[in-house]
Amino acid sequence: MKKSIHHILIQPYLGISLLLLVFLLKGFLFVTILPIFQGPDEPIHYATIQYFAEPKEKNWDIQKIDKEDFFPDGDNTNTYHYSQEIKKTAEISQFDEIKFHGTNTSLFLSGSDGAIEQTLPQASWKKYIDSYPPSIVGGPSLYYLVTSQIEKFFSSSDILVRFFSIRIFSVFLGILTVLLAYLTTLKAGFTQKQALVISTIIAFQPMFTQTAAIINYDIPLIFAFSLFTYATVALLRHGFQWKYFCFLFLGALVGILVKGTGLILPVLIFPILIYLIYQKTDFGLGKKKFFFYLSALFVIAIAFFIIFGPKGTTEIFTDFSATSNFSSPLESLQKYIVITAERWDFFELTYWGSFGWLDAQVSDYVLIFIWLTEIVALAGIVYAFFFKKIPSSFLPEKKYIIFMILMLVALQGLIRFYDWKIFYSDGSIIIGTPGRYFLPNIISHFLVLFFGLGSFFSKKKHFDILLITSLILMIGFFFYSLFNIIIPRYYL
């Protein structure tokens, strides 16, 4: 009997299957706990999905005003050009009162049926937008094309069924991301046990959990980055293989089709290809000339992409025609760097634990602990790369870590460049780079983090103790976020 239990426990797929099941249940739980529209930007994302689900022939009256005359008030959902159904639901659920107001909650009725449910039987609200310009998200649209099919499939059901079903779609993208985290960790050279621990730690990161349970195009972007990361690590490990190259290409394609930030992925294909080619041959040029020519080719390719790439996404890099309050881009850049450094706390907070409309926040003490851990990990990376003579056999090779650091730097650079561009023209921080914008690199982030921490250990068993301790702390952090922050904020 004891032997058969042990046999079950050592099945290689049991651990990861259990983790994916736990993630599914955790996702459903988060889908339920966050009240309707209380995920960041959910009304406009859901409005965009409804817009994509509208019939092609719009046989209803549409009132139009000039785009220049349309100024929706951020504190009043009724001023947006959403469908009547969204506006009414937002009004009944007291959306404007609750968002950004940590002290406010819904008006709870006795029993388990809420105000929306009691109104729905008598309601015949329009599901389409009848005021233009519509309040929707512009840019790449793959996420909306897919989720609008869910909206259409449940078109005969009420808004609660449709809205929460689309949230559940995000959970499945989250499951794929966790699976990719496991596979990437394995490919990078960790053992199966370590891969399970690290992917569980990633799966329980509270902000990732929230992002994988709301209506937002961040989760498909996280999936795209994760697929890209997995494919690259596999290519670095096995050399060029069509299977992994297709995954790489697919990751980049999904990335650019769901959100502007995904633009960085096709650009990163070039240095990866250069490295893979160099592993095979340097064409008799020698190392220096090879990298010189290919770097030149890389720059030309980027220039080509910026000039001829899809407008609307590339012009942010090329268009400097906007007027500015600053005397020069350099002056604005200096000021932007100062402001960004001052806002580092906000960035950390919104990466790790600022839920809903950033109005349910974890304690500063938790953040200080995380911040100190990250500093130690950073020191470990410096130590491993520049001072440690014999690399630890239980840690990934440096090439994987260099690639992941490149991913982290590239995404940071892109988002902050975009943020600075707007700062340059408007004179104030508009986008604000909340930490969740950097969640697409969550796998790279955690692998780099554990590489840094692990570099201080010389024995695998000590590193394993660190991993299990980190796992317990992360699960504790998750439960703390759920039971001490999120549930009290919305319900107690």
Please, is 127 exposed, middle or buried when counting C-beta atoms within 10 Å of its C-beta (0-12, 13-18, 19+)? Answer: middle
Q: Does 285 bind other proteins (CB under 8 A)?
A: no
What is the phi/psi pair of residue 71, to 5°? -125, 85
Q: Does 475 bind other proteins (CB under 8 A)?
A: yes
Q: Is 458 in the site for other proteins (CB under 8 A)?
A: no
Q: Residue from 146, 339, 422, 471 that binds other proteins (CB under 8 A)?
A: 471
Cα(106)–Cα(95) distance, integer angstroms: 8
200 binds other proteins (CB under 8 A): yes
Burial of 7 (0-12, 13-18, 19+ CB in 10 A): exposed
Token representation of residue 245: 């190259």
Q: Which run of H or E residues covers position 491?
A: helix 487-491
CB of 447 to other proteins, least distance (A): 18
Interaction between residue 112 and other proteins (CB under 8 A): yes
492 in contact with other proteins (CB under 8 A): yes
Q: Which two tokens stand for residue 246?
A: 């297709």
User: How far is 23 from 172, CA to CA, in rounded Å?
Assistant: 9
In degrees and rounded to multiples of 5, residue 389 shows phi and psi of -85, -45
**How far apart, in whole angstroms, are the C-alpha atoms of residue 58 and residue 151?**
17
84 binds other proteins, rule: CB under 8 A: no
Q: Minimal distance in Å, beta carbon 77 to other proteins? A: 15
Site for other proteins in 23-82 (CB under 8 A): 25-26, 28-29, 31-33, 35-36
108 forms part of the interface with other proteins (CB under 8 A): yes
Q: Could you tell me the smallest distance in angstroms from the CB atom of residue 45 to other proteins?
A: 18
| Residue 466 lies near other proteins (rule: CB under 8 A) | no
Task: Identify the CA nearest to 39 among candidates 142, 166, 145.
Answer: 166
- Footprint (CB under 8 A) of other proteins, residues 174-193: 193
Does 117 bind other proteins (CB under 8 A)? Our answer is yes
Bridge-based pairing state of the strands 354-355 and 131-132: unpaired
- From 106-114, 273-281, 297-305, 329-337, span contacting other proteins (CB under 8 A): 106-114
Binding characters for other proteins, 358-377, by CB under 8 A (x = yes) = --xxxx--------------
- The letter for the amino acid at 113 is D
If you write DSSP's letter for every residue of 421-482 in order, what string do you get?
Answer: HHHHHHSS-SS---GGGGGGGHHHHHHHHHHHHHTT-SSHHHHHHHHHHHHHHHHHHHHIII
What's the min distance (Å) between Cβ of 458 and other proteins? 13
Using the rule CB under 8 A, is 22 a contact of other proteins? yes
Q: Which of 81, 87, 436, 489 binds other proteins (CB under 8 A)?
A: 489
Distance CA(418)–CA(60), nearest Å, equals 38
Q: What is the 3-state secondary structure (H, E, C) of 238-263?
A: HCCCHHHHHHHHHHHHHHHHHCHHHH
Beta carbon nearer to other proteins, 135 or 481: 481
To other proteins, the closest distance from the beta carbon of 226 in angstroms equals 21
The answer to whether the beta carbons of residues 332 and 428 sit under 8 Å apart is no
14 binds other proteins (CB under 8 A): yes
Find the shortest distance in angstroms from Cβ 19 to other proteins. Answer: 6
Report the residue from 41, 54, 91, 97 that binds other proteins according to the rule CB under 8 A. 97
Q: Is 9 in the site for other proteins (CB under 8 A)?
A: yes
Q: Does 491 bind other proteins (CB under 8 A)?
A: yes
Contact between 354 and other proteins (CB under 8 A)? Answer: no
With respect to other proteins, which residue has the nearer C-beta, 299 or 465?
Answer: 465
For other proteins, the binding residue among 133, 286, 310, 476 (CB under 8 A) is: 476
Annotate 152-206 with DSSP letters as a single string: HHTTTS-HHHHHHHHHHHHHHHHHHHHHHHHHHHHHTT--HHHHHHHHHHHHT-H
Applying CB under 8 A, which part among 160-168, 303-311, 416-424, 445-453 lies near other proteins?
160-168
The nearer residue to other proteins, 196 or 407, going by C-beta atoms, is: 196
**How many CB atoms sit inside 10 A of residue 134's CB?**
20
- Strands 360-361 vs 354-355: parallel, antiparallel or unpaired: antiparallel
Q: By CB under 8 A, name the one of 102, 271, 329, 435 that touches other proteins.
A: 102
Total site size for other proteins, rule CB under 8 A: 73
Looking at the Cβ atoms of 292 and 483, the one nearer to other proteins is 483
